[in-house]
Amino acid sequence: MAPAAPLPPALFLHDAVALSGRFPLLAGVDLEVANGETVLVEGPNGAGKTSLLRVCAGLVPLASGRVAVLGLDPVRQRNQVRRRVGMLSHASHLYDDLTVRENVRFAVRAAGAGTDRIDDACDRLGLTGRVLKTSAVKLSAGQRRRVALAVLAARWPELWLLDEPHAGLDASARDTLDELIGEAASGGATVVVASHEAHQVEALATRAVTVAGGRVVSQRAIVRSAGKPAKDVAHVA
Amino acid sequence: MWRDAALVAGKDLRIEARSRVGLSQVAPFGIVALVLFAFALGPDRSLMARGAPGLFWVAVLFCTVLAIQRSVSVESADGARDALRLSGMDPAGQFLGKAAAVAAQLVVLEVVLGMGVVLLYGAKIEVAWLIVVSSLLGTVGLAATGTLYGALSAGLRVRETLLPFLLLPIAAPILLAGTRIWQAAMVGGVPADGTQWLRLLVVFDAVYVAIGVVVYGPIQESA
Amino acid sequence: MSPNLSVGSSPSAHSPLIQSARARWTVRIIGITAAVATALTVWLGLWVTPPDVSQGDLVRLVYIHPGVAWVALYLAFGLAAVASLLYLWPRTRSLFWDRLAAAAVEVGVVFNVCTLISGSIWGKPTWGVWWAWDARLTSTAVLLVLFLGYLALRRVPAEPDVRAKRSAYVALFAAVDVPIVHFSVLWWRTLHQGATVLNPDLSPTIHGSMAWTLLLGFVSLTLVFVWMLLVRYRIGVLEDWLGSRELDVALVERRAEGTPVDRSRTGVDPSHGEPGADGRLDDGVDVGRPVVPEGAR
């Protein structure tokens, strides 16, 4: 799964500090994710996992340090970066008054992606028939999440940033999610998953990164053939 | 830019078509305001007819605040604002789209309120084209400034109270120009200064649409 | 730590320009000069200059009113607009301009209110009413409302950079509006009735000592403005310094959260994988942490 040499890494952060007022969301993150990697980001609540993903999506600017996403500055070159990045965040970004189908269509078209994969994506996430014509306000939390995933699946971005993607999903949707992650990875996309449910993602990930206190505190490679997680390869304490 | 504008405007108008907030809440509010103005002026219809142009525009201004509040609140639910940012759509297009959707709703509202002042106050329209042109120009200005200030106050918890305070003084020239032109149009004949007021509206519109196109992106990213 | 994050240990290290002993002395001297000049204006205006033939003692307001209006309408507002523009311009972006704009508006509001009050005092005996819908008076009042809106926005709690940007935009939108308001009010006024307010017959004839007093009035009020501006700016610096003092501490504390070795592998600890009550994992919003509303980012 080694990336081609000339391509810039999908993600590159060096001593990245991001603030929310006086509070350091990130307190100096060093991280590099190669193209095509699937990385699991672990850490306790409030460790900075969400902030890390938001920085990568260009939603939060850095106070100091460097960040490059797909070789570009996610804040200055945001319009080039954002169309290639897909983010699944805690909120599902749905308009309550629009139907499921309208929501997916708008999100996909807004991101400048083709609409041809929408039906297929909705199908895969079990959004069919009556549900498609239901307005989003009537959906359950899990269904809203499925809609958000359907948008990602229809867009099929180069870099997937998934924040607690399993939260609120039932077993079948979790399986679909894992399938999607697997397909994205084998299709050459880079996937970064922040999750507490390590065992669910570890089967898919090539590397696990632990975040705590707004920094990357350790990394370990996941050797698939061994079946179980291997030893730490780096310790950045 | 135009594609994104059409997309956003279509989305907002579709939401309005589904929720009918504008039609079932904002427009009736405008009518209520007209009735209250009549109560305040007393039963003298000639006084009402004379005050009709100004009262119409005051009602429109108040309704604009409500329409903008609605336009902003649509995006603030469920992190939709982040979604618009993440989509990579051209901010200028988003501004034009949101302003166009507001403008479309305001036009409908103005038709309702215009009929209101004719029926309730006995105002007579002598020069129809002047009424139409001035209303359209005023609408563009209100939609542009409103969308701009709406975006600026979007993240604030005190948005509901702050927005009218910021927006209404800025829109004062629209009230003055609109009222003056309507007065002329109801008396009959184009007054000497009519084109002067129309030009003022054109300048106002051009300035704020241009500002919106340029700064909507930075505002969205920072505020 | 990188330079833009490090916070000085004292306010003078934070902003030497305004906190050094020399700067303080300059401010003090400007203040004393302003006080002396104002006292001189009052003395000249009330005792030395003669009363006007037609307006009597009322003419003495002319030594104060135009000066106050000049500061409120041109100096304060112009400075706020220019400073806001310079803040928004990426190359000159610095909180210096933001604080300057804020100070100019705040002091400008005081002068604006004084303009309206002194105008009313003059208007009551002259026009017979406290308030006439005169074009200048109306423009001044609209400007005051725009100023107050700007200050109201500044009072909304936000991070300094966010607040600075937001305020600068509002100041510029208002600045662009001012000429449009001015012309619309002027036309509105002239259309209803002739501009009788500034009737040349009522304008006082300028006498020798009166001219000097008038000029001194402008100078002293400008000095008062500059002094108030500098003092307000200094308060702004101190406020920001007080707020930012904790940042270094906060960074250290934040990093300390991640140091215990046994916590570095908590990701595999199943106890951390428990979903919240609503089936969601509440990562990112932690107790005891200043949660900033979504929009403020």
> Mind spelling out the 3-state secondary structure of chain B?
CHHHHHHHHHHHHHHHHHHCHHHHHHHHHHHHHHHHHHHHHCCCHHHHHHHHHHHHHHHHHHHHHHHHHHHHHHHHHHHHHHHHHHHCCCHHHHHHHHHHHHHHHHHHHHHHHHHHHHHHHCCCCCCHHHHHHHHHHHHHHHHHHHHHHHHHCCCCCCHHHHHHHHHHHHCHHHHHHHHHHHHHHHHCCCCCCHHHHHHHHHHHHHHHHHHHHHHHHHHHHHC
A81 shares contact with chain B (CB less than 8 Å): yes
Both A76 and A180 in one domain: the answer is: yes
Among candidate residues A106, A131, A154, the one where a domain is terminated: A154
Interface test with B, best of A19, A106, A135 (most B CBs within 10 A): A106
Q: Quick check: A134 contacting B, CB < 8 Å?
A: no
Q: What is the pLDDT of residue C292?
A: 38
Chains that touch B (3 or more CB pairs under 8 A): A, C
Query: Residue A51 falls within a domain, yes or no?
Result: yes
Q: What is the pLDDT of residue B63?
A: 95
Within-domain flag for A2 = no
Do A146 and A203 belong to one domain? no
Q: Minimal Cα–Cα distance from C270 to chain A, Å?
A: 8
Of C142, C162, C187, the CB nearest to B169: C142
Regarding whether A176 and A67 lie in a shared domain, the answer is yes
Give the pLDDT confidence of C54-77 residue by residue, as tens digits.
777 777 887 888 888 888 888 999
Does residue A151 sit in helix, strand or coil? Answer: helix
Domain extent for A133: 88-154
Q: Is A237 part of any domain?
A: no
Q: How many domains does chain A have?
A: 2
* Residues of chain A predicted below pLDDT 70: 1-6, 224-237
End position of a domain, from candidates A154, A174, A204: A154
Residues 6+ apart with CB under 8 A from C238: C11
- Is A136 part of a structural domain of the chain? yes
To the nearest 10°, the Cα dihedral for C18, C20, C24, C26? -80
Within this chain, do residues A118 and A201 fall inside the same structural domain, yes or no? Answer: no
Checking C250-254 for CB contacts under 8 A at 24+ apart, the result is C250/A22, C250/A23, C250/A24, C251/A17, C251/A24, C251/A27, C251/C1, C251/C5, C254/A23, C254/A24, C254/A27, C254/A213, C254/A214
Per-residue pLDDT tens for C7-35? 444 555 555 556 677 888 888 999 999 99
Same domain, A63 and A178: yes
So what's the ipTM on this one? 0.89
**A8 touching chain C per CB within 8 A:** no
**Domain segments of chain B: what residues?**
2-222
Yes or no, beta carbons of B78 and A94 under 8 Å apart: yes
C129 lies within 8 A of chain A by CB: no
C200 touches chain A (CB under 8 A): no
Q: pTM (2 decimals)?
A: 0.83
Last residue of a domain, one of A104, A126, A154: A154
Cβ atoms within 10 A of the Cβ of A208, count? 24
Structure tokens at B157: 């918890």
User: In chain A, whose CA is at the least distance from the CA of B94?
Assistant: A110
Q: Is residue A56 part of a domain?
A: yes
Name the amino acid, one letter, at C26.
Answer: T
| DSSP one-letter code for C56 | B
Q: Do B173 and C177 touch (CB under 8 A)?
A: yes
Is there a single domain that holds both residue A77 and residue A112?
A: no
Does the residue A210 lie in any domain? Answer: yes
Q: C20-195+210-243 domain in CATH 1.20.120?
A: yes
Calpha distance B107→A3 (Å, rounded)? 56
Chain B positions touching C174 (Cβ under 8 A) are 170
Residue in C152, C173, C183 nearest the CB of B211 = C173
| Contact present, A1 and A36 (Cβ < 8 Å) | yes
Token code pair at residue B127: 């020069």
The answer to whether B141 touches B110, Cβ cutoff 8 Å, is: no
Same domain, A145 and A189: no
A1, part of any domain: no
Low-confidence stretches of chain B (pLDDT beneath 70):
188-193, 223
Q: What is the mean pLDDT of chain C?
A: 75
CATH of the domain at A181: 3.40.50.300
Same domain? For A94 and A146 the reply is yes
| HSE toward the beta carbon, residue C92, CA cutoff 13 A | 11
DSSP3 helix / strand / coil % (chain A, rounded to 5): 30, 30, 40
Distance CA C60, CA A127 (A): 80
Each residue of C146-201: pLDDT tens digit? 999 999 999 888 778 888 999 999 999 999 998 898 888 888 876 544 444 444 44
Cα–Cα distance list, A48 to A23, A213, B21, C246 (Å): 11, 7, 39, 20
Q: Please write the tens of the pLDDT for every residue from B59-98.
A: 999 999 999 999 998 888 877 778 888 888 899 999 999 9
